[in-house]
Amino acid sequence: MKLDPESCLSLNDLKGAFVYKETKDGKEETYRIYDFSISFDPCFDNPENTWEMTGLQLDEIMVTLIPIENGKLNKEKKTGKMLDDLKDYSIQLSGGFMNKDGL
């Protein structure tokens, strides 16, 4: 499947998706995306007054993940990662229908 370079997907559309990667010891880390949070930093780009805040700029996107252990969601071990930290993970956008364990 190819995506158009101008394709877009909202962060909300990624909620519930699975992310996974194989670790160095041959095991697989698997998570389900629970939520996102975004932080902004002040922007000071007025050349005439470098102390004047001119707006906000996107700083970081944090992803809240629920690990899957022994085939079940472990909601007690929610964890957060930076979106950039997931670049080595594969993502499964459609998880199908959820069972009683949320999988």
* Residues of the chain above pLDDT 90, percent: 22
Does residue 102 lie in a domain region? no
DSSP for 71-83, please give it. Answer: TEE-GGG-EEEEG
Q: For residue range 49-98, what is the model confidence (pLDDT) as tens digits?
A: 888 888 888 888 999 999 998 888 899 999 999 988 888 888 887 655 55
Going by pLDDT thresholds of 50, 70 and 90, the confidence category of residue 22 is: confident
Domain count for the chain = 1
How many residues comprise the chain? 103
Q: Mean pLDDT score of the chain, rounded to an integer?
A: 83
- Structural domain contains residue 88: yes
- Residue 37 lies in domain: 11-92
Q: Judge contact between 30 and 20, C-beta under 8 A.
A: yes
Of 9, 32, 5, 39, the residue nearest 86 (C-alpha):
32
Q: Is residue 18 part of a domain?
A: yes
Our measurement of the distance from residue 88's CA atom to the centroid of its chain's CA atoms, rounded to an integer in Å, reads 12
- Note the pTM of the prediction, 2 decimals: 0.71
